Chain A
Amino acid sequence: MYRYDEFDAEFVRQRVAQFRDQVNRRLSGELSEDEFKPLRLMNGVYLQLHAYMLRIAIPYGTLNSRQMRRLAHIARHYDRGTGHFTTRQNLQFNWPKLVDIPDILEELAEVEMHAIQTSGNCIRNVTADHFAGAADEVADPRPYAEIIRQWSSLHPEFSFLPRKFKVAVTGASRDRAAIQVHDIGLRLKRLGGGLGFAVYVGGGQGRTPILAKLVRDNLPEADLLSYLEAVLRIYNLHGRRDNKYKARIKILVHEIGAAAFAAQVEEEWQRIRDSVLKLPEAEIRRIQAYFAPPAFDTRPHKTSLDASDRDFERWVTRNTCTHRQPGYAIVTISLKPIGGIPGDASAAQMDAVADIAERYSHDEVRVSHEQNLVLPHVRIEHRREVYAALKAARLAEGNAGLATDIIACPGLDYCALANARSIPIAQRLSERLAARQHEIGELKIKISGCINACGHHHVGHIGILGVEKRGEEHYQLLLGGSAAEDSALAAITGPGFGPEGIVDAVEKVVDRYLELRADAAETFLAAYARLGAAPFKEALYAAA
């Protein structure tokens, strides 16, 4: 994985010193809260309902055991012992004190981490396929994500954009990075003798969900930064600033049309593409070298599976995937215990994951946008030991991709923007569906506590949106969304439900699916595509 050189280390050190000065000026009263707010946000510090929240960047979701242990240490010493992994492959601490945050950032800098641009109207932490380097792919997307991370860090022109700006990169045809719901989505592809990108622009969730449009199908890799710079410049010049809800690039692309937008970008790009931003082959290869595959054990492996332990067998079925290296598996560590808080991990669990990764996964851990962790490189014979170690840490739930593997935003339990709670709904759904989840099969439930859609409800097979209705928490139900390569936006079923009713409603949808599916191989999403919304609406709203 990427290692800081002296330049990176000094950059982060200076950024911490700069932020410490900003915090001191806030504490002394020299900066008003209005003046401080954009500055703290650019460094991942939110003011939530009960406390400050610090969002730490985990670039493209990749970290090593040393970094994970440091996160555990920070959870213990500066928080209440828990970290929360988010849908953007980041980690949030919900209870830090503002005065401690510069010290936390120094602790992070020691292990080559930071909180730069995890919030604010700037280019956010770049995300990538959490199976990168392990799954079948054209090329590893992370070197490009790292180049974008460097180029976008404290970019002088793009630090005060009309609104936040999210970039996702994938190298696989199976889209695990949800690139079409990002401001820019990049898909690596072969181009002539080399590599290039299909560039999607203007996707996003929030109040106005829109799938990104393909604006260039064949961008050579050498032109990555010049093209991004052209897109960002057109957006910064012409994006709307009169209305927060119309300020994302998706609205600009929608209002002027994808073709007109692409033409403006093209004109600017042609002007700058042969500038200093052109990526030399040698530089791309230098960054790629950091992401070279580990030294895999190529000896023959045993594939036999002890089927006497049903939980282990289920865990292998659900939580391990084919690795591109024979003899290896990709292991998903579920952060969704039945009835638990999606994405939460205790300090002890983080330490356990660090130990397991160090011993069994070439010292690598990934964070997925589905709020789980991934051990990317596990030798097949070690699955049993890994499972046992995870079980000891209460991390062995074999539910990846199932109905209890729920994405939920922090919601009204923490978030100052939320209208309704998300976590308790996720917990009750998990308890309700746990017994039948293996029978139900693949089902992605995603819950947001407000229209900002941090819980990705628009792209849930079943989506839940919390709203406020006459002072009460109320939940809309959506069906049929997908964040994968078959990207689709979910549609609202009809009138919403109360906090109890929404759990019953999801169960009714599940019951109807089980009743109507062609066979056990037909997933909920496939059945919904075949049947349409009508039978589910009937189950939900027809008089009993």
Chain B
Amino acid sequence: MPLLDVASEAAGSNASEARPGGPHVFADRVWRDGEFHRDAWVYAGEGEPLPDAPTILSKSRWLAERERLRERGAPLGLRLEPGERVDDIAADLVRFALIALVFPKFVDGWAFSLARLLRDKYRYSGELRAVGEVLADQIPFMRRVGFDSFEVTHAPTRRALAEGRIVEVSMHYQAAWDGAPAGGKRPWLPGR
């Protein structure tokens, strides 16, 4: 179930463009390391042959084709929907250069906890991407639990990111993915 066809999109213009009947889509829709990027990753449709390019699979497709994909050279990514578990594929996680966690609605915070598990418990060190309804006011929280890239199609959020206008609270009362503990008062805090 491709969210967007990245390959054809990347061939188009860099600016936002409207698809008939669809939302605005952007070629450079991935925010990473402080800027928007044209993204090489392609979502594999169910049942379609995998392109010889970095491809993001569903968990079900990975489980079905795991053995066959062992020989594949091009990078693989994994897309997880709310409620999908990773304990049964823990040993496979190292195979993925990217894991995309879906926020079907911005108020659905399931992925915040799965991100923590991936980073802390499973020591996943690849790219962790927030996809779906990714909005400005959630991005600081996403960063703190371990996301390092964001697929952003919401126009005000894109502007806020591009213009550095996301107002956030830089003081944190809890250690998360983003910092080691400090000594002194409140030892459960990240370094500050």
Interface of A with B (CB < 8 Å)?
5, 7, 10-11, 14-15, 17-18, 21-22, 25, 30-31, 35, 38-39, 121, 150-162, 225, 233, 236-237, 241, 271-272, 276-280, 283, 286
Interface of B with A (CB < 8 Å)?
82, 106-110, 112-114, 116-117, 120-121, 135, 137-138, 140-142, 144-145, 156, 167-176, 181, 185-188, 192
Task: Name the CB-closest residue of A to B114.
Answer: A237
Pairwise interchain contact B145-A156, C-beta atoms closer than 8 A? yes
Which chain B residues border A159 with CB–CB below 8 Å? 109, 112, 141
Q: How far is the CB of A244 from chain B (nearest CB, A)?
A: 11
Pairwise interchain contact B110-A241, C-beta atoms closer than 8 A? yes
Pairwise interchain contact B171-A160, C-beta atoms closer than 8 A? no
Pairwise interchain contact B113-A271, C-beta atoms closer than 8 A? no
How far, in angstroms, from A14 to B109 measured CA to CA in the complex? 23
Task: Name the CB-closest residue of A to B120.
Answer: A272
How far, in angstroms, from A5 to B113 measured CA to CA in the complex? 30
How far, in angstroms, from A38 to B103 measured CA to CA in the complex? 15
Task: Determine which of A18, A35, A121, A277 lies in contact with B169 in the assembled complex, contact meaning CB atoms within 8 Å.
Answer: A18
Which chain A residues border B141 with CB–CB below 8 Å? 154, 156-157, 159-160
Pairwise interchain contact B135-A11, C-beta atoms closer than 8 A? no
Task: Name the CB-closest residue of B to A15.
Answer: B169
Which chain B residues border A241 with CB–CB below 8 Å? 82, 108, 110
A160 and B112 contact, Cβ closer than 8 Å, known pairs A38-B107, A280-B187: yes
Q: Identify whether the interface residues of B are mostly helix, strand, loop, or mixed.
A: loop
Pairwise interchain contact B188-A236, C-beta atoms closer than 8 A? no
A277 and B188 contact, Cβ closer than 8 Å, known pairs A14-B169, A17-B167, A160-B108: yes
Pairwise interchain contact B176-A18, C-beta atoms closer than 8 A? no
Pairwise interchain contact B107-A160, C-beta atoms closer than 8 A? yes
How far, in angstroms, from A38 to B108 measured CA to CA in the complex? 11
Most chain B C-beta atoms within 10 Å of own C-beta, residue among A38, A160, A241: A160
Which chain A residues border B82 with CB–CB below 8 Å? 241
Q: Identify whether the interface residues of A are mostly helix, strand, loop, or mixed.
A: helix
27 A/B residue pairs, CB under 8 Å, sorted by A:
A5-B185, A7-B192, A14-B170, A14-B171, A18-B169, A22-B167, A31-B156, A38-B107, A39-B137, A153-B173, A154-B173, A156-B112, A156-B141, A156-B172, A157-B109, A157-B116, A157-B145, A157-B176, A158-B109, A160-B107, A225-B188, A233-B116, A237-B113, A241-B110, A276-B181, A276-B187, A280-B187
A237 and B110 contact, Cβ closer than 8 Å, known pairs A155-B174, A157-B145: yes
Pairwise interchain contact B112-A18, C-beta atoms closer than 8 A? no
Which chain A residues border B138 with CB–CB below 8 Å? 160
How far, in angstroms, from A233 to B145 measured CA to CA in the complex? 12
Pairwise interchain contact A11-B169, C-beta atoms closer than 8 A? yes
Pairwise interchain contact B116-A283, C-beta atoms closer than 8 A? no
Pairwise interchain contact B175-A154, C-beta atoms closer than 8 A? no
Which 4 pairs, one residue from A and one from B, show the smallest C-beta to C-beta distance?
Answer: A160-B109, A156-B144, A21-B167, A276-B181
Task: Name the CB-closest residue of B to A236.
Answer: B113
How far, in angstroms, from A25 to B165 measured CA to CA in the complex? 11
Q: With A38-B107, A279-B187, A286-B185 given, can you name 5 additional A-B contacts, CB distance below 8 Å? A: A11-B173, A15-B169, A30-B156, A159-B141, A161-B109
